[in-house]
């Protein structure tokens, strides 16, 4: 079966996130108000084959844990759907 996986990677709240801070500064300079705590992350899309939903989720979790994010500084959320 074919699956589409999404991995969302963001810096942990305790880690200074420079891109988000840069966006916040730009918003202040352009007089946007009422917006705060911007954090920039990334989505990683993966197409894969697996025998079932559970196997697809396990494969994507292993890929994320080994390659796609750093658990010391980042958080990771995964989604898997059959296509």
Mean pLDDT (whole number) for 64-68:
96
- Count how many domains the chain has: 1
Q: What's the CATH number where 65 sits? A: 3.30.1280.10
Residue 35's pLDDT is what? 86
- HSE value, Cβ hemisphere, 13 Å, CA-based, for 31: 0
User: What confidence tens digit (pLDDT) does each residue in 6-53 have?
Assistant: 999 999 999 989 999 999 999 999 999 888 889 999 999 999 999 999
For Cα atoms 75, 79, 81, give the angle at the middle one, nearest 5 degrees: 170
Domain that holds residue 44: 2-82
DSSP state of 11: E
Q: Under a CB-based contact definition with an 8 Å cutoff, are residues 5 and 80 in contact?
A: yes
pTM of the model: 0.81
């Amino acid at each position: 079966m074919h699956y589409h996986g999404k991995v969302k990677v963001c810096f942990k709240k305790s880690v200074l996130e420079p891109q988000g801070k840069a966006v916040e500064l730009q918003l202040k300079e352009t007089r946007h108000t009422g917006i705060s705590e911007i954090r920039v992350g990334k989505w990683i899309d993966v197409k894969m084959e697996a025998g079932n939903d559970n196997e697809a989720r396990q494969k994507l979790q292993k890929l994320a844990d080994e390659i796609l994010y750093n658990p010391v500084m980042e958080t990771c959320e995964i989604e898997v759907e059959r296509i």
